[in-house]
Amino acid sequence: MDHLVNLGHGDIAFLREPHTNIFTSEPEGGLRDALSCHGFALPDTRIWGSDFTLEEGFAAAEWVLGLPERPTAVICAFDQIAIGLLSGLAKAGLNVPADMSIVGFDDIVSAAYVSPSVTTIRQDRIGLGRAASKVILKQINKATAQERCICTLPVSLIPQQSSATPRS
């Protein structure tokens, strides 16, 4: 979030999984908090539910282009959505990042090989696997159900070509 705000973006949309669950509500809440810290908001009208496929990302371009006022940047919950969105916006004649910046999440390999390459957030997959296995082992070794476990893992920004300062 800091990356986009530091570039000058304030009107940001968010593409996430359509069903609210722990994997979507936590990032959405974090995004809202981060924007609020910078004096911006993430209204519900700037959130679109999308399955994490290229096709859904492509379809999301129509939603973004149909908004009364276009956001200057879109954050996608998954790189697959970001790549599909990139393609849909290009087909509509928009130039990413000149017309709109895009940021994905996951740092999948293909994000670096599309044009423009997708700015993404890398998560610690090994750490995620370790944390998940610890929770599973605890669950197996306990007779009672475990309460909710919250694990915070480090992430890092991988700046690529899909984000830039917004047009004035």
Q: Answer whether residue 138 is part of any domain.
A: no
Task: For 52-105, write each residue's pLDDT tens digit.
Answer: 789 999 999 999 999 999 999 999 999 999 999 999 999 999 999 999 999 999
Query: Which CATH number characterizes residue 97's domain?
Result: 3.40.50.2300
Strand-by-strand arrangement of the 101-105 sheet: 47-49, 12-16, 73-76, 101-105, 119-123, 155-158
Q: pLDDT value at position 26? A: 62
Task: Tell which wins on pLDDT, 151 or 3.
Answer: 3
Q: Is 149 inside a domain boundary?
A: no
Report the distance separating Cα 122 and Cα 116, nearest Å: 18
Full residue range of the structural domain in which residue 74 is found: 2-123+154-158
Residue 116 placed within a domain: yes
The pLDDT assigned to 105 comes to: 94
Domain count, the chain: 1
Is position 28 within any domain? yes
Residue 142 pLDDT: 77
User: What is the reported pTM?
Assistant: 0.84
Tell whether 168 is covered by a domain: no
Largest Cα separation within the chain, whole Å, is: 60
Indicate whether 97 belongs to any domain: yes
111 located within any domain = yes
Q: Give the model's pLDDT for residue 50.
A: 75
Q: What pLDDT score does 147 carry?
A: 67
Q: What is the pLDDT of residues 134-158, one digit of tens each?
A: 888 888 887 566 666 677 788 999 9
CA-CA distance, 5 to 158, in Å (whole number)? 16
Q: Is residue 130 part of a domain?
A: no
The predicted model gives 100-115 an average pLDDT of 96
Taking only the tens place, the pLDDT of each residue in 6-45 is 999 999 999 987 765 555 556 667 777 777 787 887 888 8
106, HSE (Cβ side, Cα atoms, 13 Å):
13
Q: What does the pLDDT read at residue 73?
A: 97
DSSP 3-state assignment of 98?
coil
pLDDT for the residue 137: 84
